[in-house]
Amino acid sequence: MEFDQITRRAVQIFTQEGLLERLNSGKTLKIKLGADPSRPDLHLGHSVVLRALRVFQDMGHEVIFIVGDYTAMIGDPSGKNKTRPSLSFEETRKAGKTYFDQATKILSKEKTRIEYNSQWLSKLSFEEILKLTSKYTVARILERDDFKNRFENQQPICMHELLYPLMQGYDSVAIEADVEIGGTDQTFNLLVGRELQKEYGQRPQEVITFPLLIGLDGVEKMSKSLDNYIGLNDSPEILFEKSMKIPDPLLFDYYRLTTDIPLDSVRETINSDIRKAHIEYGKEIVKMYHGESAIDAATRRYFKVAQGDVPDNIPIRVVKANEIPIIEALKAIGAVTSNSEARRMIEGRGIKVNREVVQDYNLKLDVSNECVIQVGKSKFFKVKNS
RNA sequence: GGGGAGAUUCCCGAGUGGUCAAAGGGGGCAGACUGUAAAUCUGUUGGCUUUCGCCUUCGAAGGUUCAAAUCCUUCUCUCCCCA
């Protein structure tokens, strides 16, 4: 990806002139990336920002990866708001590492430095914190969308939550960031960084925001907790299968934001054969995250299932008996969590054994020979006696 | 500090003594249709049980009652208004 592609994809740049000036200065710039250790699972949505960062690295700049361990350790004491579970010191380090491992599928390891924000945030005195808070007004903090929504919906907002933007902004001060990149949902936080740097006598960082990738549900932004994500750690098969499930109207955005494929040809394929466009997208993503060699296996599974065949390499579950009730088998393979659920699945005709729909939930499975259980459209398991 | 409103099953939301495992909607899951898409239609959506039925659940803990999501007491939390 070339640099002009960054600017083309960006939603907003504050400020364009400042950014150009720094890039032309010949200095190695410090590009800030904030990581939330309470959510260390990265997905394609994160890749949008990471890919932009990669471009900066390729130009010789340094990415400073800031793990928000301080906020994560404090968590949210108000019992009702479970969005920010508090983590122990060890957990934050572990999450930071997990995050880093995934992010470096896209970023260069050599040009990425990790910092933990407890290093500086834990040292602030109350006086300094007051100084920080005095730079901002409540009205301005409440401008931020998620606060505004919670406020309007009469949801609780705790005092310390109002400080999060300031803490993040202070991170920029602490590392003297030159540039910070994030999704449009972070716009406010990123701009707070600029304000605070100014207060501390630093040149305010340049801020670039990128569009948020909408998840597979076609409505919400991609996130692990909504289970509408395509994970950077997903297997090639899953990656490909999920690619096929991207809502049609969003496919172009996925191409645009997560691949380097020229958009003119994308447009053409989408208009002429949307299914083919999905397939090509899936292949590209598999290639990007698992290499060219993984494409074959990933697509083979998909097409086999689509034809009504049983795919290769399905997980095997060994049981001790020669005969096992179907309900027990479904629990054993983790397809269901209770007998009632198993019964519902069977009554809904969602379970097949050796390609046959199971009609009777008292069915006893003969597993002296291997048998294949299919749950829904694409989940397969083999069960056999040891 | 004073006054008012409220907390229901994944979410929103009805329910004010038995017919309530709890309407309706959303979301989820499964099926039909299809391109393993969308839209649409159907079923399902606490657990155990073949049926009967039993158990757990309506912020928490006690209490009244043959019987409570529903009544009483205390507590916790949230929101609004006034100061």
State the complex-level ipTM. Answer: 0.85
pLDDT at A79 over 60: no
Helix %, strand %, coil % of chain A (to 5):
50, 15, 35
Q: How many angstroms separate the CA of A240 from the C1' of B79?
A: 46
Per the document, the length of chain A is: 386
The answer to whether the beta carbons of residues A17 and A7 sit under 8 Å apart is no
In the prediction, which pLDDT does A82 show? 45
Q: List, in order, residues 6 or more apart from A144 with CB less than 8 Å away.
A: A165, A188, A189
Coil, strand or helix: which one is A116? strand
Which nucleotides in chain B have some atom under 7 angstroms from a protein Cβ? 27-32, 35-38, 43-50, 77-80
Q: Which nucleotide is nearest to A237 (CA to C1')?
A: B36
Total Cβ atoms within 10 A of residue A32: 27
Per-residue model confidence (pLDDT) at position A242: 95
Write down the pLDDT at residue A2: 61
Q: What is residue A209's three-state secondary structure?
A: strand
What DSSP string runs through A183-198? EGGGHHHHHHHHHHHH
Where does the pLDDT of residue A368 fall: very low under 50, low under 70, confident under 90, or very high at 90 and above?
A: confident
Q: Can you tell me the mean pLDDT for A249-257? A: 95
In chain A, the percentage of residues whose pLDDT exceeds 70 is: 96
Considering all CA atoms of chain A, what is the largest pairwise distance in Å, rounded to the nearest integer? 76
- SS3 (DSSP) at A296: helix
Least confident of A197-211, A262-276, A310-324: A310-324
Q: Which residue is nearest to nucleotide B46 (CA to C1')?
A: A340
Tokens linked to A300? 């083979």
Task: Report domain extents, chain A.
Answer: 2-210, 236-306, 316-385
- The nt closest to A340 (CA vs C1′) is B47
Q: What pLDDT digit, counting tens, does each position of A147-187 carry?
A: 777 777 777 777 888 888 889 999 999 999 999 999 998 88
What's the whole-number mean pLDDT along residues A71-80? 58
User: Does the pLDDT value for residue A85 go beyond 70?
Assistant: no
Position A159 scores a pLDDT of 80
Q: Which nucleotide is nearest to A379 (CA to C1')?
A: B36
Structure tokens at A303: 């097409």
- Give me the pLDDT at residue A320, please: 82
Residue A81 CA, nucleotide B72 C1', distance (Å): 31
A156 CA, B21 C1': separation in Å?
Answer: 30
Q: Categorize the per-residue pLDDT at A75 as very low, low, confident or very high, splitting at 50, 70 and 90.
A: low
Average pLDDT of every residue of chain A: 88
Does residue A114 carry a pLDDT above 90? Answer: yes
Query: 3-class DSSP state for residue A57?
Result: helix
Protein CA at A344 to nucleotide C1' at B71, angstroms: 39
Q: Which two tokens stand for residue A77?
A: 């004491």
Amino acid identity for residue A136 in this structure: Y
Residue nearest to nucleotide B50 (CA to C1'): A362
CB atoms within 10 A of CB A362: 9
Q: What is the pLDDT of residue A233?
A: 92
Domains A2-210 and A316-385 share a fold: no
What's the angle, vertex CA A84, arms to CA A32 and CA A178, rounded to 5?
Answer: 10
Nucleotide nearest to A157 (CA to C1'): B78
How many angstroms separate the CA of A270 from the C1' of B2? 65
- Interatomic separation, CA of residue A86 and C1' of nucleotide B68, rounded (Å): 38
Closest nt to residue A357, judged CA to C1': B31
Q: What is the pLDDT of residues A193-228, one digit of tens each?
A: 999 999 999 999 999 999 999 999 998 899 888 889
Give the separation between CA A352 and CA A246, rounded to whole angstroms: 26
Residue A87 CA distance to nucleotide B77 C1' (Å): 23
Which pLDDT band holds residue A58 (cuts at 50, 70, 90)? very high
Question: Residue A78: pLDDT band by 50, 70, 90 thresholds?
Answer: very low
- In the prediction, which pLDDT does A246 show? 95
- Homologous superfamily (CATH) for A2-210: HUPs (3.40.50.620)
Q: Which residues touch strand B (CB under 7 A)?
A: A 78-80, 151, 154-157, 217-218, 241, 244-245, 247-248, 274-275, 278, 301-302, 305-306, 337-341, 343-345, 347-350, 362, 375-379
How many angstroms separate the CA of A332 from the C1' of B20? 34
**Spatial distance from the CA of A36 to the C1' of B25 (Å):** 34
pLDDT of residue A363: 87
% of residues, chain A, pLDDT over 90: 58
Q: Please tell me the predicted confidence (pLDDT) of residue A97.
A: 92
CATH of domain A316-385: 3.10.290.10
